[in-house]
Amino acid sequence: MLNQTFGSPFEVFIFLSAVFVIFAFTITVHEASHAWMANRLGDPTAKHLGRLTLNPVAHIDPLGTLILPLILIITQAGIIFGWAKPTPFNPFNLKNPRQGGALISLAGPASNFLIAFALGLIFRATQFNLIIPILELNLILGVFNLIPIPPLDGFRIVGGILPKETAYQWLSLEKYGIFLMIFLLLFLLPYLSPFISQVLNFFIYIFAGI
């Protein structure tokens, strides 16, 4: 399919490489933002483990960063998402473990929305069309990570909002994360996709005016 679009294996290689580099940079900023917020809130765990860095190698998850995104790119699935190696933090180093954990989780999607906002300003000034796919990728990762299913960021964000007792029950679901993620990808995502698309289009209009 990609050969039909680009005409030569070299063009396909350049396209795949460019998309993957952009994706790797995007999730690197996402995870480094988690580490930065944790350090700001008094937990240096991620910093000591070398995660407070923009070096993509420190954040790579074989499945979520390499295999799944490449499959989605090669098959032209129409959407690309994935995840990096989770950024660790020690809740006992935080003044308020639940709310601190929620802020650390929120920092990742917030970084994607900030990048998208900046790209939108650049697009409005330059009308450079290649900016839009990068903007869309950041919005996809930002919105996708806000879904409240472990290990996505939205799960811990909700845990920081709920009342204390309810929050502990909610956070206890984290051990089922891999099963819930499979359920999301196989069964829920097809139904959520139209809603997610509307949200993405809304933000693209707000940020880029298109």
Helix (H) or strand (E) holding 85: none
Cα separation, 120 vs 187, whole angstroms: 33
Q: Could you say which of 31, 136, 165, 174 is catalytic?
A: 31
Neighbours of 192 (CB within 10 A): 15
DSSP conformation class of 175: G
> Which of 84, 82, 38, 34 lies closest to 59 in space, CA to CA?
84
Question: Is-catalytic flag, 174?
Answer: no
Core vs surface per residue 127-152: b (16+ CB within 10 A) or e: eeeebbebbbbbbbbbbbbbbbbbbb
User: What amino acid positions are annotated as catalytic residues?
Assistant: 31
